[in-house]
Amino acid sequence: MEPTVPSPAAKQPAETSPVKESLAPDRGLQTGDHLTSGQGVRLPDTDHSLKAGPRGPALMEDFHLREKITHFDHERIPERVVHARGSGAYGTFTAYGNAASVTKAGFLAEKGRETEVFVRFSTVLGSRGSADTVRDVRGFAVKFYTAEGNFDLVGNNMPVFFIQDAIKFPDIIHAAKWHPDREIPQAQTAHDTFWDFVSLHTEATHHVFWAMSDRGIPRSFRTMEGFGVHTFRLVDAAGKTSLVKFHWKPAAGVHSQVWEETRLTAGMDPDFHRRDLADSIDAGLFYEYELGIQVMPDDAGESFEGIDLLDPTKIVPEELAPVQPIGKLVLNRNPDDFHAETEQIAFHIGNLVPGIEVTNDPLLQGRLFSYLDTQLSRLGGPNFTQLPVNRPHAPVNDNLRDGMHQSVVHRGIAPYLPNSLAGSEGAVPAGPENGGYVHLPEPVQGEKVRANPVSFADHHTQAALFYRSLSPLEQEHVAEAFTFELSKCYEQAIRVRMLGVLANVDADLTAKVAAGLGLPAPEGTPVADVTPSPALAQITDRSWPVTGRVVGVIGTPDRDAAALQKALKAQGVVVRVIAPVGGEGVERTFQTARSVEFDAIMVAEATADLQMMVLLQEAFRHGKAIGVRGKGEQTLINAGIDVKAPGILFDPDPETIVAALGRHRVWERMPLLKPRASSAGS
């Protein structure tokens, strides 16, 4: 007789009991262990806990499997319709105190007061998985967790917007995003529907010029300005009001990629901006900005120097109303959980504190509805303010009950006003005497119509002001951007129509773009002389701090490289050694390094490696300083680089490198790289 063979289930050892064997403190969690929520017990490997019987596997009895898979199936929430691609960080805002002259908002008015903030940077058009470095508007949204409640300054890196009325917002976004039949192109405006809309809708002209400038392709979030876009009303302690525009000025200066860089970066590292933000904070190289305000009288006309302050397509030149710094922002802490914090943060332009009010800007008024409304579907109901990243740091008793995802356990039986039953735990509207928000009374008169004032009708003057304020090289970049984008349109009629719009701004620009498209330049009515605003130009002679800049050193690590790295690190510069192969002290190899991640290159030894030739040629074209020491000169010669060109630094000391980095690029070299037409007979 054959001996009886135990079944696999009978072989299961007794010590795998799911409830009796606690995890040993020195053992840790091992493969095959499963933990239920809130329990520190060892559970059997799923492969052995349930076995096939005569009727098949009893999978649905495995509640561990069901809970895990169910949660996995519901991990995603709807992404934002706009600004879906974003990244963020916590920081501290410190008030200078001088804003007390215009506002009673404590976080601005009290000198030295520190307020925690969360900042989210984003692109407007792309989906969550799109690239960071596309040409686009960047969101610059700041949530201040003030002692009076949350204040959200939800702005962009451009001070104007495409439209003047919120009812047109769905139209501009639908036109700018992908074509609905194919959902391409992703995260770009170089296509027919965008240029069809803006060529027909000329109030977008000023913003289009900003988007086609270098502002549309920032080097990093560290080197990007931020703007509140709209005009706000500030109220001081005595009740006096002023109209203001908010500005964020980066300590590192305003700096952008060149067009070739942004295309390369999108391919080699689509997380380029997100990575720089997180890595810089981890390294202690914090992002810094100053918050400033332009202050203008609050008179009945709500205008300043002939500029309608309620028109979001207009700026007030800084030469007319200087930006007054009122506080400093330092981003110094990365989120612990991207989804819980960066993705679930909910900004609302209606999150206001006493001393700050909105105006009747028609686009701003529409945003007051839209920001709140979008959270209801994206975050699953009205209680999104209870999420930790959205929760005010001030005490709140709002009398709001129930609803999806309610996590507060309320007390009392009287969730209504007025009542006599709630006692001390009841919600009582706060008046101005105890810090409550009370809207400033203001007279209202006039007819209720859907129409824009006459002051909204000029769509070209400020576009010309912006263009003519730029340096010649920046103007070339604008012309190249228009040419590239319009060349991607299939419909010739759209190109012709947009040239007609440009012809009413600047004749020289129109001629350059028309020549690039192979079309005749139309005659228009270009704007007459305007007074340029030097504050609008990015390329200047000014030198900026170099914290967070990156220098690549080509060569095997040696004593000189270590000394250079130490000296530059003291200035906040990151040095990365690039060598043929990896090893101790090597951060990039010849196969992984590209010019786009470096602000300058040091060549320490001779090499003829093809990948290094490409890196150096790119760095040269992109106007980056190239330092040479030892046998590095031969490497430049191998790459076909003119060693006498501007920005080639021989045996530079750290101070020379820092000076070059502080100017962002070797601007003197850039015009030399432009192709020239051959002379006749040559």
Give tens-digit pLDDT for 460-514. 999 999 999 999 999 999 999 999 999 999 999 999 999 999 999 999 999 999 9
Binding site for heme, by residue number, is 80, 120, 169, 367, 371, 378
Average pLDDT value over all residues in the chain: 89
| Among 400, 369, 364, residue whose Cα is nearest residue 385 | 400
For residue 539, give Cα distances in angstroms to 256, 466, 506, 533.
Answer: 10, 14, 21, 13
Interstrand relation of 241-250 and 226-227 (parallel, antiparallel or unpaired): antiparallel
Write the burial class of residue 60 (CB in 10 Å: 0-12 exposed, 13-18 middle, 19+ buried): exposed
Same domain, yes or no: 149 and 282: yes
Binding site, by residue number, is 80, 120, 169, 367, 371, 378
For residue 570, give Cα distances in angstroms to 74, 284, 546.
Answer: 47, 12, 11
Q: Which residue has the higher pLDDT, 95 or 435?
A: 95
Residue 124 clears pLDDT 80, i.e. is over it: yes
Same domain, yes or no: 236 and 369: yes
And the tokens for 13?
């050892």
Question: Mean pLDDT lowest for which of 177-181, 339-343, 475-479, 560-564?
Answer: 560-564
Q: Determine the 3-state secondary structure of 156 from DSSP.
A: strand
Q: State the CATH number of the domain containing residue 354.
A: 2.40.180.10
* Residue 96 in domain: yes
* Residue 615 in domain: yes
247 flagged as catalytic: no
pLDDT tens sequence across 628-669: 987 888 889 999 999 999 999 999 999 999 999 999 999 999
Residue 19 clears pLDDT 70, i.e. is over it: no
Q: What is the mean pLDDT of residues 369-380?
A: 92
Q: What is the mean pLDDT of residues 426-435?
A: 78
Q: What is the mean pLDDT of residues 592-606?
A: 91
Q: State the CATH number of the domain containing residue 55.
A: 4.10.91.20
pLDDT at 675: 61
Question: Mean pLDDT lowest for which of 32-36, 457-461, 557-561, 666-670?
Answer: 32-36
Q: How many domains does the chain have?
A: 3
Q: Which domain holds residue 100?
A: 86-183+218-390
- Catalytic: which of 48, 64, 83, 460? 83
Question: Mean pLDDT lowest for which of 12-21, 44-53, 268-277?
Answer: 12-21
156 flagged as catalytic: yes
Q: What is the mean pLDDT of residues 430-455?
A: 85
Distance CA 322, CA 521 (A): 38
Distance CA 46, CA 32 (A): 8
SS (H, E, C) 223-234: HCCEECCCCEEE
Same domain, yes or no: 329 and 358: yes
pLDDT tens sequence across 251-295: 999 999 999 999 999 999 999 999 999 999 999 999 999 999 999
Same domain, yes or no: 280 and 159: yes
Per the CB < 8 A criterion, the answer to whether 198 and 208 are in contact is yes
And the tokens for 578?
């690039």
Q: State the CATH number of the domain containing residue 597.
A: 3.40.50.880
Same domain, yes or no: 252 and 329: yes
Residue 218 gets which letter from DSSP? B
Around Cβ 493, how many Cβ atoms within 10 Å? 11
Half-sphere exposure of 434 (CA within 13 A, CB side): 5
For residue 115, give Cα distances in angstroms to 2, 86, 151, 657.
Answer: 80, 23, 11, 36
Residue 151 clears pLDDT 60, i.e. is over it: yes
Residue 137 gets which letter from DSSP? -
Q: Determine the 3-state secondary structure of 138 from DSSP.
A: strand
pLDDT at 561: 66
Residues 6+ apart with CB under 8 A from 405: 379, 380, 381, 383, 384, 386
| Among 53, 78, 50, residue whose Cα is nearest residue 66 | 50
Q: What is the mean pLDDT of residues 584-603?
A: 91
pLDDT at 15: 40
Residue 340 gets which letter from DSSP? I
Around Cβ 100, how many Cβ atoms within 10 Å? 19
Which band of pLDDT confidence, cut at 50, 70 and 90, is reported for residue 424? low
| Among 260, 258, 249, 320, residue whose Cα is nearest residue 289 | 249
Same domain, yes or no: 71 and 96: no
* Residue 28 in domain: no
| Among 151, 321, 150, residue whose Cα is nearest residue 242 | 321
Distance CA 161, CA 183 (A): 24
pLDDT at 505: 98
Of the residues 359, 390, 421, the one at which a domain ends: 390
Around Cβ 528, how many Cβ atoms within 10 Å? 7
Distance CA 403, CA 250 (A): 41
Which band of pLDDT confidence, cut at 50, 70 and 90, is reported for residue 622? very high
Residue 9 clears pLDDT 50, i.e. is over it: no
* Residue 540 in domain: no
Residue 24 clears pLDDT 50, i.e. is over it: no
- Per-residue burial over 638-677, b = 16 or more CB atoms within 10 Å of its CB, e = otherwise: bbebeeeeebbbeebebeebbebbbbbbbbebbeeeeeee
H or E stretch at 241: strand 241-250
Same domain, yes or no: 610 and 568: yes
Q: At what angle do helices 507-517 and 492-503 cross, to 10 degrees?
A: 160
* Residue 659 in domain: yes
Q: Which residue has the higher pLDDT, 57 or 278?
A: 278
Residue 562 gets which letter from DSSP? H
Same domain, yes or no: 53 and 176: no
Residue 24 gets which letter from DSSP? P
Residues 6+ apart with CB under 8 A from 502: 482, 509, 510, 513, 524
Residue 436 clears pLDDT 50, i.e. is over it: yes
Of the residues 362, 390, 418, the one at which a domain ends: 390
Give me the torsion for CA of 481, 482, 487, 488, rounded to 10°.
Answer: 70
Per the CB < 8 A criterion, the answer to whether 663 and 640 are in contact is no
- Catalytic: which of 156, 334, 383, 390? 156
Same domain, yes or no: 69 and 90: no
Same domain, yes or no: 50 and 96: no
Residue 330 clears pLDDT 80, i.e. is over it: yes
pLDDT at 182: 94
* Residue 132 in domain: yes
Residue 625 gets which letter from DSSP? E
* Residue 296 in domain: yes
Question: Mean pLDDT lowest for which of 126-130, 145-149, 204-208, 447-451?
Answer: 447-451
Q: What share of the chain is helix, strand, coil (3-state, %, to 5)?
A: 35, 15, 50
Residue 187 gets which letter from DSSP? S
* Residue 682 in domain: no
Distance CA 164, CA 364 (A): 9
- Per-residue burial over 377-395, b = 16 or more CB atoms within 10 Å of its CB, e = otherwise: ebbeebbbbebebbebeee
Residues 6+ apart with CB under 8 A from 94: 112, 113, 114, 115, 327, 328, 330
Contacts for 404-412: CB closer than 8 Å, 24+ residues apart: 404/380, 405/379, 405/380, 405/381, 407/383
Residue 682 clears pLDDT 80, i.e. is over it: no
pLDDT at 558: 61
Of the residues 358, 390, 422, the one at which a domain ends: 390
Which band of pLDDT confidence, cut at 50, 70 and 90, is reported for residue 560? low
Per the CB < 8 A criterion, the answer to whether 297 and 231 are in contact is no
Distance CA 526, CA 515 (A): 18
Residue 509 backbone zone (phi > 0: left; psi -120 to 50: alpha; other: beta): alpha
Same domain, yes or no: 41 and 169: no
Same domain, yes or no: 63 and 105: no
